[in-house]
Amino acid sequence: MKKIRISAGPGLSLLFVIFLAGCNGKKSESSSSGSAVTHQEIKQDKLTEGALLLKELAENGDYVNSRDFPSLIKASIVYEELDSNNLIIDIRDGRSYSSGHIKGSVNVGFSSLPEYFESAIKPFEYDKIIIVCDDGQLSSYTTSLLRLKGYGNVYSMRWGMGGWNKNYAMKSWLKGVSGRYEDRLETTVNEVPAQSALPELNTGLSVGRELLDARFRDIFSSGTDSILISPEKVFNNPSEYFIINLERKDKYESGHIPGAIRYKPESTLGFADVMSTISVNKPVVIYCGTGHNSAFATAFLRLCGYDARTLKYGNNSFMYDKMTKDKSLLSWLPFTLGESNDFPVVK
């Protein structure tokens, strides 16, 4: 595989990996760096929209490969900083917000966030902007998109309102945890497919910033109805989906969803030679331990044109008993009431 280094502005170089998609049949090496474009594209001095978007995201801070990814904040820190220069945005529906919310938080619907950030507030006047939802998964998805757009002070509150107050945890996380699919896990290591192509975005744009802006608005206007997927849908017919496991190798090998392929969290997103192995012909299901990290990853893949969704509650939703009993892997992160608090809400 031939590599060529191309200058991408002061202090930043992008390593473009030139590959002839599908020609050599070799599996991608996830240790590769940078964004991938085809040999023909280099000859024409023109990137596909997918490669152009990856280049723009890399030049815009390469958030998904930075120390800030994923940008999660504990409920205890949010509580300690209630009187600080922070803004808390609750993206739950109006009825849920009215029935109880964090003091000082504002209720803004998901699809209204781009306009809110551009017109209603001056985002960088706040030390932190904290996104809150029921269980921390849609807020993680939202935070990822806002960070990718350049809002570098946005955070998702871990576990959502379930981490803020035990009453909410009883209604969300503790209802979602389950071990009912543990007997259907497999330990077979499924290989990463050969490289194919990045999704076609078809915006007609050729300027990276304009392309990012267009994709950003499209993602927010499409809402969140298809972001989360239940374990029932996945386990009932796993072959319908391209399933990505974003866990450590030892966790993956101890048991995963049938057909799931492990992609390394630290060297997948933003690496076009690796991303081009992800199917564009099937819905992509991403999962991790809690659904938080996978929600961040889902946002990136959807921005790049994949039909991606995150598994609700992650491993907690189908192998909870194994997670709580397996002491050999202390970082399983099963949700318990110990993760929640008794912080007050207002109505």
List Cβ neighbours of 216 (8 Å cut-off, separation of 6 or more).
114, 145, 148, 149, 303
pLDDT of residue 45: 52
**Tens-digit pLDDT profile for residues 114-136:** 999 999 999 999 999 999 999 99
Reported confidence tier of residue 28, pLDDT bands at 50, 70, 90: very low
pLDDT of residue 326: 82
Helices (H), the chain: 39-44, 49-59, 75-80, 94-99, 113-115, 137-149, 161-164, 166-171, 173-176, 208-221, 231-236, 249-254, 272-275, 292-303, 320-325
Query: Whole-angstrom distance between the N-terminal and C-terminal Cα of the chain?
Result: 60
Domain 1-332 has CATH 3.40.250.10: yes
Q: What angle in degrees, to the nearest 10, is found between the helix axes of 137-149 and 208-221? A: 160
pLDDT of residue 31: 35
pLDDT of residue 132: 98
Local structure of 65: helix, strand or coil? helix
Reported confidence tier of residue 65, pLDDT bands at 50, 70, 90: very high
Residue 39 clears pLDDT 90, i.e. is over it: no
**Tens-digit pLDDT profile for residues 292-343:** 999 999 999 999 999 999 999 999 999 999 999 887 766 888 999 999 999 9
Mean pLDDT of 191-206: 95
Rounded to the nearest integer, the mean pLDDT of the chain is: 88
Interatomic CA distance for residues 182 and 254, integer angstroms:
11
Mean pLDDT of 262-284: 95
Task: Round the CA-based radius of gyration of the chain to a whole number and report it.
Answer: 20
Reported confidence tier of residue 47, pLDDT bands at 50, 70, 90: confident
**Tens-digit pLDDT profile for residues 258-272:** 999 999 988 999 999
- Domain locations along the chain: 1-332
**Tens-digit pLDDT profile for residues 223-263:** 999 999 999 999 999 999 999 999 999 999 999 999 999 99
Local structure of 79: helix, strand or coil? helix
Sign of CA dihedral 53, 56, 57, 58: positive
The proportion of the chain whose per-residue pLDDT surpasses 70, expressed as a percent, equals 86
Residue 34 clears pLDDT 70, i.e. is over it: no
pLDDT of residue 262: 98
